[in-house]
Chains A and B, each alone.
Chain A
Amino acid sequence: MRHEQKILESHYTQGKPFVRAKIVVVNPETLRQITIQKDFWIDTGFDGGIHVAHFHKNEITMIGIALWSGTIGIAGGARATAHRCLAYLQKIEDHEFPLPGIEAELILHGSDRHGLLGLDILKHWIVEFDGPNQFFKVASGFAQAKK
């Protein structure tokens, strides 16, 4: 048996499941923080957490956060360099998560104006895609133990 609590239901935008989300990066030493609010594409082909364009790097480093270098596998099997840090997903559409939010890896790479929410975020939810009707549902859920 499965219990679900609805987080959001929405139609696709331009043929893709987009959501508006609020991401916060906090410097644990100084407690200074920055907020990134933008549209994110729910991407089941991305195994990371949250992906945003590289230009956000300046905002993040301004609060004294050091970004860590690394690689990212991109479409076609190629690899690119990327920067990353820890971030919190605090809000998705009108649904707010308990503070400090969902911990996730934030990857800064590329220049796409929209972000990506990958499998490392989606693992927290039940996500259903209704392709023919261009509709998707996100719910928090848990399986009840069998008696």
Chain B
Amino acid sequence: MVLAVLPTEVTILREKEFTTERSLLPVAAIEQENYELLTHQRLGPDSSIDTRGIFYLGDSPLQLKEGFGKIEPAGFLFNYPWLPPNAIKLLNKAKKGALAEKELITLMEMLAERASAHFQLGAGKFVALTFRGRVVEVSDTRVGLLKRLQGRKYPEQIFVWRIGFNAFSGRL
């Protein structure tokens, strides 16, 4: 009796194992196919949507520069520091209308602080910054900085700052 039962259990177990192994193979193959399809769809241009030459990998757009075959990450620019939410709020407010003097000073202060941390600017340096936090010019002297800026036209509005100080120049 006992001997008759044992082979049956072994058979059942083997069948289960076999069934499991067989079912894994097509699932893995389907997942692989799905992944390749999704990747292909994300990277490939979709004729129904005008991407203007921008390709997407997940949520981040990848910009392909024509002629050079160089990929530039448009969603994450290395020459613009991350700005704190308060600075973004003030920038949005500035787009709608003029800021109060205190608000403008606060904004410049926040931008200068972020830019000096992002670009690792040393204290005492005189810098010209855009209101998105990008550094336009850096100099060791205030006159040196102004000489570089004078007569030049910039597409963005610029302000000047002395890193590590709360004013470019001052009276006691």
A140: CB under 8 A from chain B? no
Q: Which residues of A contact B118 (CB under 8 A)?
A: none
Chain B residues with a Cβ closer than 8 Å to the other chain, count: 28
Contact among B101, B153, B172 with A75 in the assembled complex (CB-CB below 8 Å)? B172
Minimum C-beta distance from A92 to chain B (A): 18
Do A85 and B142 contact each other (CB < 8 Å), given the known contacts A45-B171, A107-B169? no
Which of B104, B159, B171 is close to A68, meaning CB atoms less than 8 Å apart?
B159
CB-nearest residue of chain B to A80:
B101
Interface size class of A (residues with CB under 8 A): 20 to 34
Q: Point out the residues of chain B lying under 8 angstroms from A85, CB to CB.
A: 146, 150
A-contact bits for B121-138, CB 8 A (1 contact / 0 none): 000000010000000000
**Contact at B151–A73, with CB atoms within 8 Å?**
no
Distance in angstroms from A50 CB to nearest chain B CB is: 10
Using a CB-CB cutoff of 8 Å, which residues 63-79 of chain A contact chain B? 64-66, 68-75, 79
Query: Cβ of B160 and Cβ of A70 under 8 Å apart?
Result: yes
Q: Look across to chain A and name the residue whose beta carbon is closest to the beta carbon of B168.
A: A70
Partner of A86, one of B104, B146, B161: B146
CA distance A82 to B101 in the complex (A): 10
A118 within 8 A of B: yes
A48 touching B108 in the complex, CB below 8 Å, given contacts A68-B158, A84-B146, A85-B146? no
Q: A residues touching B (Cβ–Cβ < 8 Å)?
A: 27-30, 43, 45-49, 64-66, 68-75, 79-82, 84-86, 103-105, 107, 118, 120
Chain B residues close to A by CB (< 8 Å) = 101, 104-105, 108-109, 128, 142-143, 146-147, 149-154, 157-161, 166-172
